[in-house]
């Protein structure tokens, strides 16, 4: 069964936005110096996930249209062996990428949280609540970053061995990637070939707090669809106004 996971994440984002608003309001109502951190953290959570809500909502709408064969370039199906191979490749790439991002996030939390704890409170004892909260958030982010690749791998194995490709996004055996969206730029499109497989690789960048971060969407191609893959890659490159590399 095809699942629109972006819709679920849109609902989670709006719930976290509400939590951030409640935290901010609580800090304002309490109105004590040692609780001002609730305003800062609450605003950060509310603003971040309010933006995420609209991102996931856009993805959910796009995915719904793809599943209804609207604005679709191609729909491919694969056998079980191809599905397992693709899932393993995606798992390895996601695990390595998440480790690098997690290191950057830890450094960011330690620096910003440490500065705020040292200079935003009269003493470390007064800052204990803030420190506990920041460490809890960091542990949650670390936990998610480390388990997501494995969860994704298992989901891809259980998903239908199908690939949906549009000019702006792709759904690859349960994983949805959108390379043309807000705060995202497409860099170039590549057709990758070796003796065992052919893939369309869309290289794109997402604007984050520390600048543009490079990503890629690997779209597997059935063995008998190589000519069709060239047309699909060319159409994506043309729509995004980027170079096609072969």
Task: Tell me what the mean pLDDT of segment 48-68 comes to.
Answer: 88
Please identify, among 67, 84, 104, the residue that sits at the C-terminal boundary of a domain. Answer: 67
**The domain boundary residue, chosen from 67, 85, 101:** 67
The distance from CA 20 to its chain's CA centroid, rounded to whole angstroms, is: 21
Residue 177 dihedral angles phi and psi, to the nearest 5°: -130, 130
With left for phi above 0 and alpha for psi between -120 and 50, is residue 209 left, alpha or beta?
alpha
CA angle 75/235/180 to nearest 5° reads 85
Strand partners, 216: 203
Of all helices (H) and strands (E), which one includes residue 186?
Answer: strand 184-193
Q: Are 184 and 197 within 8 A, CB to CB?
A: no
Instruction: State whether 124 and 32 are in the same domain.
Output: no
76 and 61 in a common domain: no
Q: How confident is the model at residue 239 (pLDDT cuts 50, 70, 90)?
A: very high
Q: Which residues sit opposite 185 in a β-bridge? A: 205
In the block, tokens 């807000």 appear at 182
pLDDT confidence tier of residue 209, bands split at 50, 70 and 90:
low
Q: Looking at the 3D structure of the chain, how many domains does it have?
A: 2
**181 and 93 part of one domain:** yes
pLDDT in tens, 1-30: 677 878 888 899 999 999 999 989 988 888
CA distance 177 to 200: 13
Average pLDDT of span 34-58: 85
Per-residue pLDDT of 144-153, as tens digits, reads: 777 777 777 7
Find where tokens 């629109």 sit: 4
Cβ neighbours, 10 Å, residue 112: 11
> Domain containing 109: what range?
71-245
Helix residue ranges, H only, the chain: 5-30, 36-67, 80-119, 128-158, 226-240
Torsion from C-alpha of 172, 76, 59, 211, nearest 10 degrees? 50
Rg, C-alpha atoms of the chain: 21
């Amino acid at each position: 069964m095809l699942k629109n996971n972006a819709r679920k994440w849109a609902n989670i984002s709006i719930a976290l936005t509400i939590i951030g608003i409640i935290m901010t309001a609580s800090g304002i109502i309490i109105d004590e110096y040692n609780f001002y951190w609730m305003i800062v953290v609450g605003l950060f959570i509310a603003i971040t996930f309010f933006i995420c809500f609209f991102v996931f909502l856009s993805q959910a709408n796009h995915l719904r249209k793809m599943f209804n064969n609207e604005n679709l370039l191609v729909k491919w199906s694969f056998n079980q062996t191809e599905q397992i191979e693709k899932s393993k490749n995606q798992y390895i790439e996601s695990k390595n990428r998440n480790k690098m991002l997690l290191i950057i996030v830890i450094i960011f939390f330690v620096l910003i949280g440490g500065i705020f704890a040292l200079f935003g409170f009269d003493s470390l004892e007064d800052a204990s609540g803030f420190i506990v909260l920041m460490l809890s958030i960091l542990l949650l982010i670390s936990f998610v970053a480390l388990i997501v690749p494995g969860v994704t791998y298992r989901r891809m194995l259980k998903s239908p061995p199908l690939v949906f490709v549009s000019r702006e996004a792709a759904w690859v055996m349960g994983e949805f990637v959108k390379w043309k969206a807000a705060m995202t730029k497409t860099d170039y499109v590549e057709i990758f070939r070796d003796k065992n497989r052919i893939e369309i690789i869309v290289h794109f960048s997402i604007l984050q707090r520390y600048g543009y971060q490079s990503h890629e969407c690997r779209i597997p191609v059935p063995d008998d669809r190589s000519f069709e893959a060239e047309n699909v890659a060319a159409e994506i490159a043309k729509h995004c106004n980027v170079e096609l590399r072969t």
